[in-house]
Structure 1
Amino acid sequence: MGCTVSTKFKKPIENEQIVAKEVILAPGAFVNENENKFADIYRLGKLIGTGTYGEVRMCFHRESGAKRAVKIIRKDLMTNEGLRANLDKEISILRSLDHPNVVRIYEFFEEVKRLYIVMEFCKGGELFAEIVKRKYLTEIHAAHIMHQLFSTLDYLHGRGIMHRDLKPENILLEERHDVMNIKIIDFGAATIFNDKPINGIVGTMFYIAPDVFQGNYDFLCDMWSCGVILYILLAGYPPFDGKSDQEIISRIKSYEYSTSQEPWSNISQDAKDLLSKLLCHSKKRASSRQALAEPWIINLVKRELPSTEVMSEALNNLKNFRSTSILRDAVNTFITTQFISASDTKDLREVFRKMDKNGDGKLSREELLEEYTKIMEESEAQAEVDRIMREVDSDNNGFIDYSEFLKGSLDSSKVLSLENLKLAFQMFDQDGSGTISAGELKKVIAGKGLADNKIWNDIIIQVDQNGDGEIDMLEFQKIIMKNF
C-alpha cells in the first residue's frame, strides 16, 4: 500500500520528547464518548440480561467484527440526578483501571433517549449461574477464584478504590465453565476513599459487612464480601441467611456463622482459617495482600506455567520494544486495548501472572529484574530493565501495568497489521475526511491537555510527506511501520 511513498523521513524533532514527558498514555485515554450514533458503529445482538434502568446486550463492531457487550440505559428512568452522577463515576473509574480481572470498557455513546456503554464480552456468564449449576465448587477451583479476587482488590485498594458490591452476580467467567479466569464488573457502587471512614449503606444484603450497617467503614468491607463469596463457593449457600432483611442483618452483625453442617466436614482447615480472617471484625480482618499470602491460597493456586517458548518470546519482545514516537505509542496502546482479543493474549496473561510475584496486578522493576537475571548477567539485566521501564511504562507510574505489558510483549506484526492500522487511523480521523489534522491528533492523544498547538503541528510536519499539512493513510502507515 505504501510502495510508491518515499521511505526517507526527517530527523526526529525535540518537541517529540516534550510531548513524551507530558502525555500520559494510559489505556483509558482512548475510552471516550463516541459522537456517532451507536447503530452506525455497532450491530445489536442477543439479550444478555435486564436491570432496573435498562438492559445488557451482545453487540458487534461493524468495522472489525469484534464481539462486545453493551449496557443500554434508558435516560427517562434516571430521574434522580444522583443516578446519573453515579453512572458518570462508574465510567470514570472503569476508564482508569487496567487489570486482567477487571472488565474492560471500550467507549460510550449518549443519544436523546439512551446511553450506551460498550464493554468486554465474557461468554462464560455469571459466576452465580455456575455455582447454581454445580451446587458448590472444589477447593482448588474456589482458591483460583479467590486468588483473582484478592489480586483485583489489592490493585483497586492500592489505587484508593473500593468496589462495595462484590457478589457472584458481579463476577463473570471469561469462558464457559472455566473458573480460572474471571472478570469483575458493575462498579456502580464503587467509590474513591482516603484515610477517612466512609458512611452510607451500599451493596447487596447477603454480602454487606457489619461495619457498613454501622455507618463507619473502610476498604476492608470488600474483604468481608470476599468471605461471604468464599463461603458460598465452598458450601453452596450463604453464611448469614434469614426469613427477612432484619433477620439477615441481625445475623451479619453477630459475626456468627456455622461450619458444622455439610459439606464442611470435607473442607480443609486452611480454608476455614482464611474464612475466619475475612468474616470477622474489621480491626482483625485480613487485607487483600494478607489474604494472598494465606497457606490455602499459596498451596492450592498452582496455575499452569507458560511454556519456555512463550516466556522467552515475551521477554524478548519486551526487550526489543521501542517507543519511537508518541504517535506510534498511541497507536500501539489503542490497538492493544481496543482490538486485541482475550484469546490472542491468553498465553501472555499467564506470563504476566507468573512475573507478578506479589499478585498486585502490575509489574515492578524488581519483578522484571528477577526474570531477566535468569537469562543474562545482572549488570546487563539492570540496564535492560531500566530501558524497558522507560519505553513501556507509558503512563509514567513506575510500574508496567497489564496493557503496557501486552503492548510490549505482543508480536508487533499482529498488533500493527494493516487491518488494525486502518481501525487506528479511523480513530484519529475524527471527522471522517480521510486525513488527520493537528487538531485531531491533539484531541485524541492529549484531550484537553497540552494547549501548545505548535507541538502537534510539528509532529504533523515530520509525518506529512506531500506537504498538505495533514496525515493521510499512506503517511500514517509509513510512520507507524518505520524501523519495523
Structure 2
Amino acid sequence: MGCSIRPQFKKVTTKLEPPNHIIVQPGNFVLENEHSFQDVYRLGKLLGTGTFGEVRVCSHRASMVKRAVKIIRKDLLTSAHHRATLDNEIKILKSLDHPNIIRVYEFFEEVKRLYIVMEYCKGGELFSEIVERGGLSESCAACIMKQIFLTLEYLKKLGVIHRDLKPENILLEEKHDITNIKIIDFGTALILNETGVKIKGNAGTIFYMSPEVLNGMYTVACDMWSAGIIMYIMLAGYPPFDGKNNQEIIESIKQGKFSLTNEPWDNISDSAKTLVSQLLCAEEVRLTPEEALKYKWIIANNRNSVHESEVTKILNNLRDFRATSILRDAIKTYITTQYISASDVKDLKEVFMSIDTNHDGKISGGELIKEYSKIMDEEEAKDLVGKIIKEVDLDKNGYIDYSEFLRANLDSKKVLSEEHLTAAFRLFDHDGNGRISAEEMKRILEGESALDVGIWSKIIQEFDVNGDGEIDIEEFGLLLKTITPSLAIAM
C-alpha cells in the first residue's frame, strides 16, 4: 500500500526532552531479524568459504542494496565454543564505530543456518591484491599500514585485541583502491577490562602469530606483530617466517630471525626496513600503534590530502547542526549507518581522520577547539565547541564518534529519502501493523538501560498527531520534516 503524506496535518510544536540516560549508538540497530533470510535478501555470488560455511553477496529485496552475508551451517558448530565465537563477533562489531572496521547490519537464525549480514566490499581481500601485484610499492604499503595502525590504536583504546589480523581479514572497499580498507573477522577478538593484562592460550593463524602468542602468554601487542608480518609480505611478496610444515613455521617465528637483504629488500628504503624491525621484535620493545603512526616512513608516504576549504565546510556544518528529538536523531543514525554507501562518505571520512589528531577514532573537544581557533578567538572556540558536542554527541560519551560526525554532516535530502524512510519505519514497526508503539520504540532504543515504557509513550506523544498513542506512517514522515505532497511511502 502507499500512503501520501498530506500537508494539511497540523504542525507539532510541543517538544519533550528525553531523559539523559537514553543512549543511541549504531549498535542499537543491529538486531536479530525474525523473518526468513530468503524473504529479506536475495543471495548472489560466492565470495569465500570457511570451516563453518561460506560468505556470499546478497541483495536487500526492498532497497536492492548489496551486502555480504556470512552463512554458518549449525550442524558444523560442534561445540559451545564455536557458537560463542560467532556471538562474540556480533557483540564486538556492534560496539565498534570506525571507518576502517566492517559494519554489521543484522543477523538471522534459522533451524539449519545462521546468517550475519555485513558491509559488502567490492575490492575483495588485500591478500588477493598482493598476489595479483606480486607485492606492493612502498607508498601503497604505507597507505595500508597507516590505516591498520589507526584501527589498532582505536581498538587498543577500547581494550580490544583482534588476534587474527592477516591480509585475508583486510578488505578493499573498491577494486585496487588501497585508500579505503576494512578490517573483518572479530570472532576470536577479546575485550580486556584493564590495560597490560596477559592473555593465556592462543588464537589466530600461525603465519601471523607472535612468539609470545605461541608461548601462550601475551598482550594487545600481539596485533602489532601481525601488522609487521603484513607489512613484510606487502613489500617482499612472501612471509618473513616460513617452513615445510606448521612446526617448522612455529620454530622459525620463535627464533625471530628474518632477512632484510637481497631482492627485493635492496630496493626498499631504510626507513621501511627500520619500521618492520621495530614491529617484528620482542614484545616489550615493540612499537605501539601510536608510536608507529609517528614513524618517518608512514608520515612521508601519507601526505594530508584534505583541503582547508573542506575542513571549513565541515566546521560550519557542525556549528549549524541542531539536535531535534531522540527519535528523529535515532532514525537518522540508523539510516546513516545502515544505508549510506562508502562512496557517499569518502570525503567526510578523510576530514574526520584529519581532525582526529590523536588517532583514537573519535573527535574530542580539544581537537575541535584547535580547528575552530584557526578562525576565531580561542575562548569563543571553547564556548562554541561545548555547544556543538552537546548537540552532536548522541551517545553522551563526551566525544563526537564517527557515525555522529556523519549524521551531522550528510545532506538530509540524501539521508531522508523515501526508500530510507520506508526501511526505518519497518525497523521500528516490529509487528508489521503499520504503527510504531511505545514497546516497539523501547525494543530498539532502550539498549542496556531499563526504562519504564511510559518514558517511550511520552516521546511518542510529540509526534502522535491523531492521538492514538502510536506513530503511523504519515506521522513518521512528518516527524522527519518530509512534508511533501509528492512523497509516498510504500508499505
The TM-score bracket by the shorter chain reads: over 0.9
Q: Distance in 1 between matches of 2:10 and 2:450?
A: 30
The 5-angstrom pairing of residues 80-159 of structure 1 reads: 80-159=79-158
Query: Higher RCO, 1 or 2 (CA under 8 Å, sep at least 6)?
Result: 2
- Provide TM-score, normalisation by structure 2: 0.95
**Which residue of the partner structure matches residue 191 of structure 2?**
192
**Which residue of the partner structure matches residue 455 of structure 1?**
455
Aligned partners of 1:25 and 1:445 also within 8 Å: yes
Query: What secondary structure is seen at the aligned counterpart in 1 of 2:258?
Result: coil
Deviation at 1:10, TM superposition (A): 4.2
Query: What secondary structure is seen at the aligned counterpart in 2 of 1:317?
Result: helix
The 5-angstrom pairing of residues 429-440 of structure 1 reads: 429-440=429-440
Query: What secondary structure is seen at the aligned counterpart in 1 of 2:283?
Result: coil
Q: Distance in 2 between matches of 1:211 and 1:352?
A: 35
Aligned partners of 2:18 and 2:459 also within 8 Å: no
**Which residue of the partner structure matches residue 398 of structure 2?**
398
Q: Distance in 1 between matches of 2:259 and 2:7?
A: 75
Query: What's the C-alpha RMSD, in Å, of the aligned pairs?
Result: 1.6
Q: Distance in 1 between matches of 2:319 and 2:10?
A: 26
Deviation at 1:293, TM superposition (A): 0.9
Q: Distance in 2 between matches of 1:300 and 1:349?
A: 19
Is 1:6 the equivalent of 2:5?
A: no
Q: Distance in 1 between matches of 2:463 and 2:311?
A: 36
Query: What secondary structure is seen at the aligned counterpart in 2 of 1:57?
Result: strand
Deviation at 1:8, TM superposition (A): 2.6
Aligned partners of 1:135 and 1:236 also within 8 Å: yes
Q: Distance in 1 between matches of 2:170 and 2:353?
A: 19
Q: Which moved more, 1:192-201 or 1:23-32?
A: 192-201
Is 1:358 the equivalent of 2:361?
A: no
Query: What secondary structure is seen at the aligned counterpart in 1 of 2:478?
Result: helix
Q: Distance in 2 between matches of 1:63 and 1:331?
A: 18
Cα gap change, 1:362 to 1:277, in 2 (>3 Å): same
**Which residue of the partner structure matches residue 296 of structure 1?**
297
Q: Distance in 1 between matches of 2:389 and 2:308?
A: 24
Deviation at 1:374, TM superposition (A): 2.3
Q: Distance in 1 between matches of 2:7 and 2:131?
A: 61
Aligned partners of 1:33 and 1:107 also within 8 Å: yes
Query: What secondary structure is seen at the aligned counterpart in 2 of 1:283?
Result: helix
Q: Distance in 2 between matches of 1:183 and 1:212?
A: 24
Cα gap change, 1:482 to 1:11, in 2 (>3 Å): farther
**Which residue of the partner structure matches residue 233 of structure 1?**
234
Deviation at 1:426, TM superposition (A): 1.2
Q: Distance in 2 between matches of 1:143 and 1:122?
A: 21
Deviation at 1:376, TM superposition (A): 2.8
Deviation at 1:378, TM superposition (A): 2.4
Q: Distance in 2 between matches of 1:450 and 1:108?
A: 24
2:156 aligned partner, one-letter code? H
Aligned partners of 1:223 and 1:288 also within 8 Å: yes
Deviation at 1:483, TM superposition (A): 11
Deviation at 1:241, TM superposition (A): 0.7
Q: Distance in 2 between matches of 1:297 and 1:438?
A: 51
**Which residue of the partner structure matches residue 41 of structure 1?**
40
- In structure 2, list runs of 5 or more residues that go unmatched: 485-491
**Which residue of the partner structure matches residue 278 of structure 2?**
277
Aligned partners of 1:102 and 1:184 also within 8 Å: yes
Q: Distance in 1 between matches of 2:378 and 2:118?
A: 42
Is 1:444 the equivalent of 2:447?
A: no
Aligned partners of 2:10 and 2:465 also within 8 Å: no
The 5-angstrom pairing of residues 301-380 of structure 1 reads: 301-306=302-307, 308=309, 310-380=310-380
Query: What secondary structure is seen at the aligned counterpart in 2 of 1:481?
Result: coil
Cα gap change, 1:483 to 1:379, in 2 (>3 Å): farther
Query: What secondary structure is seen at the aligned counterpart in 1 of 2:462?
Result: helix
Q: Distance in 2 between matches of 1:270 and 1:417?
A: 49
1:353 aligned partner, one-letter code? M
Query: What secondary structure is seen at the aligned counterpart in 2 of 1:180?
Result: coil
Aligned partners of 1:227 and 1:275 also within 8 Å: yes
Q: Which moved more, 1:106-115 or 1:457-466?
A: 457-466
Q: Distance in 1 between matches of 2:400 and 2:128?
A: 34
Cα gap change, 1:269 to 1:483, in 2 (>3 Å): farther
Deviation at 1:65, TM superposition (A): 1.2
Query: What secondary structure is seen at the aligned counterpart in 2 of 1:359?
Result: coil
CA deviation profile, 1:180-225 (whole Å, cap 9, x unmatched): 1110011111112234210112111111000011111000000000
Deviation at 1:371, TM superposition (A): 1.8
Aligned partners of 1:317 and 1:410 also within 8 Å: no
Deviation at 1:482, TM superposition (A): 8.1
Deviation at 1:305, TM superposition (A): 1.9
Q: Which moved more, 1:426-435 or 1:394-403?
A: 394-403
Query: What secondary structure is seen at the aligned counterpart in 2 of 1:225?
Result: helix
Q: Distance in 1 between matches of 2:175 and 2:397?
A: 35
Is 1:28 the equivalent of 2:27?
A: yes
Query: What secondary structure is seen at the aligned counterpart in 2 of 1:232?
Result: helix
Cα gap change, 1:131 to 1:276, in 2 (>3 Å): same
Q: Which moved more, 1:190-199 or 1:56-65?
A: 190-199
**Which residue of the partner structure matches residue 416 of structure 2?**
416
Matched residues, number = 479
2:267 aligned partner, one-letter code? N
Q: Distance in 2 between matches of 1:413 and 1:307?
A: 25
Aligned partners of 2:477 and 2:483 also within 8 Å: no
**Which residue of the partner structure matches residue 245 of structure 1?**
246
Identity of aligned residues (%): 57
Deviation at 1:290, TM superposition (A): 0.7
CA deviation profile, 1:82-136 (whole Å, cap 9, x unmatched): 1001110111001101000000000000011100000000000000011111111
Q: Which moved more, 1:71-80 or 1:410-419?
A: 410-419
Q: Distance in 2 between matches of 1:338 and 1:7?
A: 31
1:9 aligned partner, one-letter code? V
CA deviation profile, 1:346-380 (whole Å, cap 9, x unmatched): 11111112212222222111111222222333233
Q: Distance in 1 between matches of 2:130 and 2:12?
A: 59
Query: What secondary structure is seen at the aligned counterpart in 1 of 2:57?
Result: strand
**Which residue of the partner structure matches residue 58 of structure 1?**
57
**Which residue of the partner structure matches residue 71 of structure 1?**
70
Q: Distance in 1 between matches of 2:298 and 2:361?
A: 16
1:200 aligned partner, one-letter code? G
CA deviation profile, 1:218-249 (whole Å, cap 9, x unmatched): 00000000111111111001001111212111
Aligned partners of 1:99 and 1:152 also within 8 Å: yes
1:399 aligned partner, one-letter code? Y
Query: What secondary structure is seen at the aligned counterpart in 2 of 1:17?
Result: coil
Q: Distance in 1 between matches of 2:7 and 2:256?
A: 74
Q: Which moved more, 1:72-81 or 1:405-414?
A: 405-414
2:370 aligned partner, one-letter code? E
Query: What secondary structure is seen at the aligned counterpart in 2 of 1:70?
Result: strand
Q: Distance in 2 between matches of 1:346 and 1:445?
A: 28
Q: Distance in 2 between matches of 1:264 and 1:184?
A: 27
